[in-house]
C-alpha cells in the first residue's frame, strides 16, 4: 500500500523562531504558536544549512526550511545555534593510534577539543564516508567525531588510517 507524504516548504513569512528563558526553541509556524520546536537536518552530512525539518514537541513535522539564510536574522541565528548543539562533532586533528585488542578497535585521537578515546567492535559499522576524504567515526556508545579530509592529516595519522581502511 503506497503512503502519501506531503513536503511543506516553509518560507520566511511562515516561520518565526526564538528561545524562551529556559533555552528551548519556540515560535510560530504557519500562523500557529508552539512553545517547543525541534529541528533536524534532513541531510546531516551533505547540507548543513539546507533542508531543515521543523517539528513540534510530538515529533510531527510542520515543514522544511529550504535554506537557513532565507529566514529573518533572529530565526536564522536561533536555528544555526540549535543545529550546532544537536550535531556537535569534534574535529580530529591527529590519530595517535588504532589498535585491535580482544576483538575491539581502540582509537586514541586528538581533536580540536582535546584528546579522546573511541572503542568499537568492528570498523564497517562505525565508519561513515560521506564525501571524498571525509570520515565520520562513531564509537559503541554513540560518541562521534569527524575527519574532514584524512589526506590533510599528518603522515603518522595517515599511516594509521591506511592500515585499516
Q: Tell me, what's the pLDDT at 141?
A: 87
CA distance 13 to 71: 8
| Sequence-distant (≥ 6) Cβ neighbours of residue 50 within 8 angstroms | 43, 66, 67, 68
Name which residue leads in pLDDT, 109 or 86.
109
Diameter of the chain measured on Cα atoms: 57
Closest CA to 136 of 16, 24, 48, 62: 48
Q: Long-range contact list for 147-152, CB < 8 A, 24+ apart?
A: 147/91, 147/92, 148/91
Q: Between 100 and 7, whose confidence is greater?
A: 100
Instruction: Indicate the pTM of the whole model.
Output: 0.69
What are the pLDDT digits (tens) for 62-94? 999 999 999 999 999 999 999 988 888 899 999
Query: pLDDT tens, 33-49?
Result: 999 999 999 998 788 89
Sheet holding 92-101, edge to edge: 92-101, 104-111, 114-120
Alpha carbon distance 124, 137 (integer Å): 10
Helices (H) and strands (E) in the chain, counts: 2, 13
Amino acid at each position: 500500500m503506497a503512503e502519501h507524504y506531503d513536503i511543506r516548504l516553509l518560507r520566511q513569512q511562515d516561520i518565526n523562531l526564538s528561545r524562551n528563558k529556559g533555552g528551548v526553541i519556540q515560535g510560530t509556524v504557519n500562523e500557529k504558536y508552539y512553545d517547543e520546536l525541534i529541528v533536524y537536518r534532513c541531510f546531516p552530512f551533505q547540507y548543513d544549512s539546507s533542508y531543515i525539518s521543523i517539528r513540534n514537541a510530538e515529533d510531527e513535522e510542520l515543514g522544511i526550511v529550504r535554506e537557513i539564510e532565507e529566514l529573518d536574522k533572529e530565526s536564522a541565528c536561533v536555528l544555526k545555534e540549535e543545529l550546532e548543539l544537536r550535531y556537535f562533532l569534534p574535529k580530529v586533528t591527529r590519530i595517535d593510534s588504532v589498535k585491535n585488542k580482544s576483538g575491539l578497535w581502540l582509537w586514541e585521537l586528538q581533536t580540536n577539543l582535546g584528546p579522546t578515546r573511541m572503542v568499537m567492535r568492528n570498523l564497517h559499522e562505525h565508519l561513515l564516508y560521506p564525501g571524498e576524504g571525509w570520515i565520520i567515526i562513531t564509537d559503541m556508545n554513540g560518541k562521534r567525531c569527524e575527519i574532514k579530509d584524512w589526506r590533510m592529516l599528518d603522515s603518522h595519522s595517515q599511516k594509521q588510517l591506511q592500515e585499516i581502511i
